Amino acid sequence: MTGGFVDDYLSYLLARASHLVSRDFHAQVKRSGLGVAEWRVLATLSDGGPMIIGELARRVLYEQPTLTKVIDRMEEGGLVTRAAQESDRRRIEVRITPAGTAAVVGLLPAAKMHETQLLASYSPEEVALLKSVLRTLIDRLSAD
């Protein structure tokens, strides 16, 4: 069952850890009436302010055409608004609405709590190193 190539392969460890770590919380997200895509968009916007489609797509790990359709649905549902920037009307700024904020406000502390529980059995040094390695990987691979 274990011991082969795959079980020591970084891509697989990351994919599986990511999958499992998200699983329980994503179930909670769905119970609250949001999909995972909506959760990611709202968490990102509520965290960092308005963002254009392309940047938001990179942030939430979707292709641009996929995100455009997610935003279509969310705009329809009143969770976000869409408006072209004055200075460059190609750039469409997505902005969270009060309804969107209301939809995530309860999930944000739940997410923090979920993370705290997950990491409770590791030392602060281990957690710091884990996050540091992940962040440097991300930074390096984002620079394209």
**Contact residues for a copy of itself (CB under 8 A)?**
1, 4-11, 13-25, 43-44, 47-48, 59, 61, 108, 111-112, 114-115, 118-119, 121-122, 126, 129-131, 133-138, 141-142
Give the rounded distance of the alpha carbon of 61 from its chain centre.
Answer: 7
CB count, 10 Å around CB of 104?
24
Query: Shortest approach of DNA to residue 41 CB, angstroms?
Result: 11
Q: What are phi and psi of 38, to 5 degrees?
A: -65, -45
Compute CA distances 141 → 22, 94, 103, whole Å: 22, 26, 32
Binding site partner of 78, from DNA, a copy of itself, none, Cβ cut-off 5-8 A by kind: none
Positions touching DNA (CB under 7 A) are 30, 35, 37, 52-55, 62-66, 68-73, 82, 87-92
